[in-house]
Amino acid sequence: MAKLTHLDAEGNAVMVDVSDKDVTERTATAKGSVLMQPETLAMIRGGTAKKGDVLSVAQLAGIMGAKRTPDLVPLCHPLTLTSVEVTLTPDDARNAIDITATCRLAGRTGVEMEALTAVTVAALTVYDMCKAVDRGMRITHIRLVHKAGGKSGTFQAD
């Protein structure tokens, strides 16, 4: 059975020591969605939200979230990201905004948490900017879909 890497033998929380790991190119992609009323999606598409351009602000918030991950998740290493891409795509059939974030770096530890944080912060920003008209929005299906690099190799979600 796999052991948790963030706990020592006594069960205390520890930051994983990555000093002996090789520097490799690492990438991670996460996805998630915000489900909403059709009218809310139309407002976002039309650019008529009172707080401004929802998609642009949420994209920027996602990028900023990736960069702030170690400030939000206690045992994450501060990383020098070389790239953060966040896209928000309206889906009329599902009344949703689909969010994808990809983070990259050359380093000793992966960027999965940064990609997941980017999606989460972007989704929270969509919610915040539209909650006045749709408090029933649902943030859903946030997950890692791909990671590459490092000793554990490549992961691809089904």
Give catalytic status of residue 128 as yes or no.
Answer: yes
Strand order in the sheet with 138-148: 83-91, 96-107, 24-35, 138-148, 155-156
Region for 150 from its dihedrals, namely left if φ exceeds 0, alpha if ψ lies in -120 to 50, beta otherwise: left
Rounded to whole angstroms, the Cα distance separating 39 from 108 reads 45
Q: How far is CA 128 from the centre of its chain?
A: 16
**Which residue of the set 17, 20, 98, 128 is catalytic?**
128
Q: Which residues are catalytic?
A: 128
